[in-house]
């Protein structure tokens, strides 16, 4: 009689384990999509900050090399794209 009572105190039944796993599964199913969305949003924000920083550094380097940006483009000049120049550079 004493052994039967002690056995019950030391373990969980299969039903208790399955119910616990079911609850954990439901909580995970509700939480994981939110975590994935937050991760994707954070990744996009980080990439945008990096891109903005690189563009800002590029602009500053160009200003240091070429002077004030107001004189970079001549409004009266007709700028065209010549593919032959690109072929010479890439060869």
pLDDT per position as a tens digit, 4-62: 555 556 788 999 999 999 999 999 999 999 999 999 999 999 999 999 999 999 999 98
Rounded to an integer, what distance in angstroms lies between the CA atom of residue 24 and that of residue 18? 10
For residues 74 and 80, is the Cβ–Cβ distance under 8 A? no
Rounded to an integer, what distance in angstroms lies between the CA atom of residue 81 and that of residue 85? 9
Statement: residue 83 has pLDDT above 70: no
Q: What value does the mean pLDDT take over residues 53-72?
A: 88
pTM of the model: 0.53
Rounded to an integer, what distance in angstroms lies between the CA atom of residue 27 and that of residue 18? 14
Rounded to an integer, what distance in angstroms lies between the CA atom of residue 54 and that of residue 68? 19
pLDDT value of position 86: 60
């Amino acid at each position: 009689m004493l052994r039967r009572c002690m056995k019950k105190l030391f373990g969980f039944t299969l039903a208790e384990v399955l119910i616990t796993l079911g609850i954990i599964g439901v909580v995970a199913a509700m939480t994981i999509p939110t975590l994935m969305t937050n991760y994707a949003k954070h990744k996009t924000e980080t990439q945008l900050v990096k891109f903005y920083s690189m563009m800002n550094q590029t602009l500053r380097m160009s200003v240091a090399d070429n002077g004030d940006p107001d004189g970079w483009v001549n409004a009266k000049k007709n700028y065209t794209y010549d593919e032959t120049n690109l072929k010479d550079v890439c060869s």
